[in-house]
């Protein structure tokens, strides 16, 4: 790793303009030039709205693994003041879930989940994922006979929802509402949500809260062989009070649901888009399917579903020559860090044969618990696409939602030749 660069004095307006351009349609279609510009401003760039942007792979990686940096927990959110975004209904509720807890609370809750997707559980879920992939590709194939079809709506949005829905044993009739609530809720986790996005996120949070609280009560009344019933058994042993156990399980169910479909749908659409844009590599992959896992990792590196992870300084510190006060937020720009030339050779080249390190599933104690499930879905879908739809091509340029933190392809028209 090269030594961290001190940031030259950065003009605030330059950074504001960069983020405005990043949110335009062309910025969403290709954020890489913006990230290169951001990295050129230094490894630590003061953010015009407060806090700092961390652009290098080395520093992002170090901060994720260093206990001196914490997540923005409920206490930190409360200290920001009632009128700030951090105390909106949606943000306060997120502030009670696993990724917003610090040790020792985080350790206790994470331990209660165990290894959610160990080899044995993944082997069981694999069968269901394969079945769903075949069903969704049957439907896509039928639509393609009539011309263009939207891969995003027909496959990417469906597979992660069915996977998590079946795992949690939710009624399929609820999937459309839950999916739309997840799309609305995510804005509270965005880098710079607008007032109306935040309001939409608050409304979605209230509905999701009612849904998952009721789910916990249902599983109390009729426990079964499902994760929510298993968490209730675990938490009844951890808490003397039944209400506290119910509350802990509600927060787990809410979080696992929010963490899963939004991110995985983006991974699936991005994977198909990037591979169809690189037909020679797709052809090579068809001849070498043992490299499907490497291809998925390169997609995760090249355009991660989540481009920003936030941390808080627990003490006054200095990063790359920049003084950072205790309680300040740093935004780890992992979408930019994954393209840091100090870490990756030719980072702007999409190359499924590289053995890519990436920060797309975070690092340290908050490392994504669902990574094996997301990988399983992407690898299973890719294997089936190679086998079933060799003539698949992009029908029209994809459409991205104007977001910075959580990427989303809203439309990906494909055709079959």
Nearer to ligand HEM, 5 or 76 (CB): 76
Nearer to ligand HEM, 42 or 99 (CB): 99
Draw the binding track, 155-184, toward ligand HEM (x: CB under 6 A; -: no contact): ---------x--------------------
State the nearest-atom distance from the C-beta of 391 to ligand HEM, in Å: 27
- In the bound state with ligand HEM, the residue whose beta carbon lies nearer, of 116 and 389, is 116
Cβ proximity to ligand HEM, 77 vs 395, nearer residue: 77
Pairwise CA distance, residues 267 & 304, whole Å? 7
What would the x/- binding string for ligand HEM be over residues 113 to 152, using CB under 6 A?
Answer: ----------------------------------------
Residue 91 binds ligand HEM (CB under 6 A): no
Report the residue from 15, 59, 60, 71 that binds ligand HEM according to the rule CB under 6 A: 71
Asked if residue 64 lies in contact with residue 92, where contact means CB atoms within 8 angstroms, the answer is no
- Pick the piece of the chain touching ligand HEM (CB under 6 A) from 6-14, 31-39, 358-366, 399-407: 358-366
C-alpha count within 13 angstroms, C-beta hemisphere, residue 385: 26
- Chain residue at closest Cβ approach to ligand HEM: 370
Q: Which of residues 318-357 bind ligand HEM (CB under 6 A)?
A: none
Segment interacting with ligand HEM (CB under 6 A) among 322-330, 369-377, 392-400, 404-412: 369-377
| Span of 34-42, 47-55, 80-88, 259-267 interacting with ligand HEM by CB under 6 A | 259-267
370 near ligand HEM (CB under 6 A) = yes
The answer to the question of residue 265 lying near ligand HEM (CB under 6 A) is no
End-to-end CA distance of the chain: 46
Question: Footprint of ligand HEM on residues 7-46 (CB under 6 A)?
Answer: none
Q: Which residues bind ligand HEM (CB under 6 A)?
A: 71, 98-99, 110, 164, 255-256, 259-260, 263-264, 267, 304-306, 309, 360-362, 366, 368-370, 373-374
């Amino acid at each position: 790793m090269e030594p961290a660069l001190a940031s030259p004095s950065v003009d605030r307006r330059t950074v504001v303009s960069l983020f405005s351009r990043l949110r335009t349609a062309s910025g969403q279609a290709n954020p890489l030039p913006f990230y290169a510009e951001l990295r050129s401003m230094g490894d630590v760039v003061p953010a015009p709205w407060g806090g700092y942007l961390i652009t290098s792979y080395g520093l992002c990686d170090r901060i994720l693994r260093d206990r001196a940096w914490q997540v923005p927990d409920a206490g930190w959110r409360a200290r920001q003041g009632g009128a700030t975004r951090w105390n909106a209904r949606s943000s306060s509720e997120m502030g009670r879930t696993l990724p917003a807890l610090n040790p020792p609370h985080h350790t206790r809750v994470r331990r209660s989940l165990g290894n959610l997707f160990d080899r044995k559980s993944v082997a069981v879920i694999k069968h269901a994922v394969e079945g769903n992939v075949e069903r969704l590709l049957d439907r896509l194939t039928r639509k393609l006979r009539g011309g263009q079809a939207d891969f995003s709506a027909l496959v990417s949005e469906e597979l992660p929802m069915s996977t998590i829905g079946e795992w949690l044993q939710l009624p399929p009739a609820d999937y459309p509402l839950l999916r739309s609530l997840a799309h609305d809720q995510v804005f509270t986790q965005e880098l710079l949500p607008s007032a109306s996005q935040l309001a939409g996120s608050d409304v979605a949070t209230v509905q999701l809260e009612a849904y998952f609280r009721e789910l916990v009560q249902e599983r109390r009344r009729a426990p079964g062989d499902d994760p929510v019933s298993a968490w209730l058994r675990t938490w009844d042993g951890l808490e003397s009070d039944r209400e506290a156990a119910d509350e802990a399980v509600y927060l787990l169910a809410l979080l696992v649901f929010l963490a899963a479909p939004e991110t995985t749908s983006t991974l699936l659409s991005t994977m198909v888009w990037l591979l169809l844009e690189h037909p020679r590599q797709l052809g090579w992959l068809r001849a070498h399917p043992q490299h499907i896992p490497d291809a998925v990792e390169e997609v995760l590196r090249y355009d991660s579903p989540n481009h920003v992870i936030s941390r808080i300084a627990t003490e006054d510190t200095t990063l790359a020559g920049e003084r950072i006060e205790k309680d300040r937020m740093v935004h780890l720009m992992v979408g930019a860090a994954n393209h840091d030339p100090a870490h990756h050779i030719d980072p702007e080249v999409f190359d499924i044969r590289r053995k890519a390190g990436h920060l797309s599933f975070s690092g340290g104690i908050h490392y994504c618990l669902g990574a094996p499930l997301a990988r399983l879905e992407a690898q299973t879908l890719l294997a089936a696409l190679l086998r079933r739809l060799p003539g698949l091509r992009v029908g029209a340029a994809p459409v991205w939602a104007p977001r910075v933190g959580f990427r989303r392809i809203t439309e990906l028209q494909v055709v079959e030749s």
